[in-house]
Structure 1
Amino acid sequence: MESTAIVGSKMLLELLVLVLVSGVVFGKLSEILHLPDVVLFIVAGIILGPYVLNLINVDKFPIGNQFILTFGAAYILYDGGREVELDVLNKVKYTVISLATIGVILSTFITGYFAHKILNIDFIYALLLGSVIASTDPSVLVPLFKNMNISNKLKQTIISESAFNDAAGAIITFSIITIIQGGSFSLGSSSLKLLITSIGGIAVGVVVGSLVSILITDNKYGFLKQYPSQMAIVGVGASYLIGEELGVSGFMAAFIMGMICGNKAMAKLTLAEESYITHLRFKEVLTVILRMMIFILLGTHVQFNVLAQYWKPSLAIVFVLIFIARPISAFISISIDRKAKWNLKEVLYMMSIRETGVIPAALAGMMITMKIPNAEIISSVTFMAIIITLTFQASTANLLAKLLKLDKDTSDAKSVA
């Protein structure tokens, strides 16, 4: 008779094989159909999940499920942090900070208020729903904007906001979960805790990111310069674990660690060219694999009986999120920063960009695993938000930029004419 450890390892291996094979197949299918890959990954999860083939079930793989969601979210935040350029960020830092804090809080409360009225659930759970879907997604926005011709200022603001607000959304979500699990609510103490959690996460990320950058750099201190990819994984894991052990945000720590590593050239720290290319390829492959895993697992979490019961209110909440919560929260947040000198077209564009993705998916999956009350409803609304924002907003982002004449080619052509 096999031991529990052997059975558990086989189950984890089975989970990985199923997810990777289906991810590759449906990723190829997304290329053929010209649809966002994450949408097809969710479809793959639904097929593998308990309502179709029943090959993957969260109750069957609780530890593997939780590990993939936690590490996947942390590593993708690290990857998002690496895309942030500090010199550009410095020019729009107040816009990014206000969007990632005030914007997320406003979006959480506006969406939560309407969810409370629409779903008729306790306000604290409606607020939890609002916090889960309040953030945007760097793993979707980064590749999207790499292929767009808008200004670097606008591009970096949207990417930076998405990375920062993922961390803020995760912090707010877990703060609300703490209250649900028995804590008491105080606006003052909750705000202070959010501040301490954020600053603590930033400090941990700076320390770990600096240490990793020094150890892999191409100079006399780079004792581990042959292992940049391995050290990145160590850094992500260490940032998250140290942050959580100290009672601060592990997700924020992972993101800041990525930002420090991505801008280490400013401190005269560079990688050898061969190590840089190797790490870049490894990072891209691992990020794709983790995105596959998270979205496929989200698909397995979708409960069709709940979705069938709440599809109309879910649509209504997503409508509120896109056309009410995001425009209001973005407009107020952007208006605070007068130094950035945003024009009306740029403001309108930022008010319309809010793709839901990896971190909300991971948070929704974690709540299913943690058996938080109303987690099934929250997961269903998250699923609806991901599908709609990725198929509707992500696919029209380039067209909207051209309509608003933010596309540099379009603008230049018209000025010459």
Structure 2
Amino acid sequence: MGETNTAAVIANELAVIMASIATLGVVGGWIAEKLKLPDVVVFLVFGVAFGPTFFNIINIEDYPIVNETILTFGSAFILYEGGKEIKLKVLNEVKVSVGLLASLGVFLTTVIIGFITYYVFKLPIGPSLLLGATISSTDPAALIPVFNKISIKNRLKQTVISESAFNDAFGAILFTAILTAVTMTEKVGLLSTTLQLVLMIVIGLLVGMGISLIGIGLSSDKRYGILHGYAPIISIVIVVFAYEISKRFGGSGYMSVFIAGLTYGNKKRFKLWVPDEDYIAGVHFRENIATIARMAIFIVLGTHLNIDSLIKHGVGSIIVVLVLMFIARPIVVLVCTSFDRKAKWSKNEKLFMMWVRETGVIPAALSGIIVSAKVPGYEIISSTVFMTIITTLLVQASTTNMVAKKLDVLEK
């Protein structure tokens, strides 16, 4: 009887916490709209204010399974949505730039930030590189709403969005590899780590495409599309199965869901189509799920933040952010675009790509995983990720329109 009562109390507390997160998310979104701020900034502030640091209304750390579910599923679904935004026809024109920015660019950023972190905070090289991998990717969830309001040249717009979606996947894979190396008690060789990384990518690609094609086929207007009336729900099923099956076969769950989204967004190339009514219902359904995921991830991240740690490591965190914005990003763009002679990027287009690199959902979720795992130096990593998200969103996202006009990269 005691166990039943305890379970009921825990269930009630969890229900209150989830309802509180939803309420704070809705109110935070409304405030952000009125103040013309990126909503994720308000979500983060609300997480800090209503977490254990101040009012202690939301304390998700007592429920590690729920915490892990929010961070893992939320980031996976947002990656899936990011993959859906990419159009292969446009991507084909700039595939060299996008491929290098999303892979070599992530690696270069990780190394540069890793060494700066090593010297600034005196962290071991493993956790330092882990911080670099965490903030190496940009955020399609932050970029897409901004670009929807600004008429950026289509090729440039698709390149930045494609890079953002791809580097989220590569960043998550690199993060997983480094986290595994940091948390394992036995030493792992470079060759072994490299092979594991390649295997994770390949399995993620195959599983993501396979699961997505099955889901699209069953919800399509074809003869075998027997579940087309449930197309919105099948999106959730695709994300869950793509992530879990890939993980169980040793692949990257993040790569898998991203490829699943990419396949879904380009289903016409596979001669598949979802009936208009079901397609529209699916769009609204996925938008709501993605919005809830963003709210939950950033509010939960805010609850993890230790204010004393943020104050203590604030100066070092700002140094890392400035290096990321004004040294690492320009180097990445210059190196990666120099190999793509076919694209013929202008100087202004390169400058625009250097400026637009908002940090957001995936780094937030990965930071939450680091805190949950209590990786050495997790308080420093959490504070720096928080500072990176706040700074890049407030400074870069809010000035994108002004910079685009100044650089003359708007559609005529």
Secondary structure, in 3 states, of the residue corresponding to 1:355?
A: coil
1:222-273 Cα shifts (integer Å, max 9, x gaps): 1110011110000000000011101110011001101111111222211111
Q: Give the structure 1 partner of residue 123 of structure 2.
A: 121
1:384 Cα deviation from its structure 2 partner: 0.2
1:38-93 Cα shifts (integer Å, max 9, x gaps): 00000110111111111222432211111011000000000001100011111111
Q: How does 1:40-55 map to 2 (within 5 A)?
A: 40-55=42-57
Moved more, 340-349 or 110-119: 340-349
Q: Give the structure 2 partner of residue 25 of structure 1.
A: 27
Amino acid at match of 1:170: A
Secondary structure, in 3 states, of the residue corresponding to 1:226?
A: helix
Q: Give the structure 1 partner of residue 362 of structure 2.
A: 359
Structure 1 position 171 matched with structure 2 position 193: no
Q: Give the structure 2 partner of residue 406 of structure 1.
A: 409
Give unpaired runs (5+ residues) of structure 2: none
Moved more, 298-307 or 144-153: 144-153
Q: Give the structure 2 partner of residue 412 of structure 1.
A: none
Structure 1 position 368 matched with structure 2 position 377: no
Equivalent pair of 1:73/1:362 in contact (CA under 8 Å): yes
Selected match of 1:95 from 85, 97, 110? 97
Q: Give the structure 2 partner of residue 234 of structure 1.
A: 237
Length-normalised TM-score, structure 2: 0.97
Q: Distance in 2 between matches of 1:92 and 1:234?
A: 32
Selected match of 2:349 from 321, 324, 346? 346
Structure 1 position 133 matched with structure 2 position 123: no
Q: Distance in 2 between matches of 1:193 and 1:96?
A: 23
Report sequence identity in percent: 45
Q: Give the structure 2 partner of residue 149 of structure 1.
A: 151
1:184 Cα deviation from its structure 2 partner: 2.6
Give unpaired runs (5+ residues) of structure 1: 410-417
- Number of residue pairs the alignment of both structures matches: 409
Q: Distance in 1 between matches of 2:121 and 2:330?
A: 22
Segments of 4+ moved more than 4 angstroms: none
1:216 Cα deviation from its structure 2 partner: 0.6
Amino acid at match of 1:41: F
Structure 1 position 309 matched with structure 2 position 339: no
Amino acid at match of 2:72: T
Structure 1 position 296 matched with structure 2 position 319: no
1:375 Cα deviation from its structure 2 partner: 1.1
1:341 Cα deviation from its structure 2 partner: 1.9
1:145 Cα deviation from its structure 2 partner: 1.3
Moved more, 331-340 or 73-82: 331-340
Moved more, 150-159 or 101-110: 150-159
Length-normalised TM-score, structure 1: 0.96
Q: Distance in 1 between matches of 2:89 and 2:39?
A: 32
1:183 Cα deviation from its structure 2 partner: 4.3
Equivalent pair of 1:58/1:369 in contact (CA under 8 Å): no
Q: Distance in 1 between matches of 2:181 and 2:95?
A: 31
1:175 Cα deviation from its structure 2 partner: 0.9
Structure 1 position 35 matched with structure 2 position 44: no
Q: Distance in 1 between matches of 2:186 and 2:384?
A: 26
Q: Distance in 2 between matches of 1:102 and 1:244?
A: 24
Q: How does 1:239-278 map to 2 (within 5 A)?
A: 239-278=242-281
Q: Distance in 1 between matches of 2:111 and 2:158?
A: 26
1:260-293 Cα shifts (integer Å, max 9, x gaps): 1111122221111111111111111111111000
Q: Distance in 2 between matches of 1:347 and 1:43?
A: 33
Q: Distance in 2 between matches of 1:215 and 1:58?
A: 37
Q: Structure 2 vs 1, CA of residues 183 and 95 (structure 1 numbering), >3 Å: closer, same or farther? A: farther
1:185 Cα deviation from its structure 2 partner: 4.3
Equivalent pair of 2:61/2:67 in contact (CA under 8 Å): no
Amino acid at match of 2:294: R
Equivalent pair of 2:137/2:164 in contact (CA under 8 Å): yes
Secondary structure, in 3 states, of the residue corresponding to 2:61?
A: coil
Amino acid at match of 1:78: Y
Amino acid at match of 2:51: G
Amino acid at match of 2:96: Y
Moved more, 306-315 or 196-205: 196-205
Q: Give the structure 1 partner of residue 203 of structure 2.
A: 200
Q: RMSD between aligned alpha carbons?
A: 1.2
Secondary structure, in 3 states, of the residue corresponding to 1:354?
A: coil
Amino acid at match of 2:293: L
1:293-346 Cα shifts (integer Å, max 9, x gaps): 001011101101111100000000000010011111121111122222212111
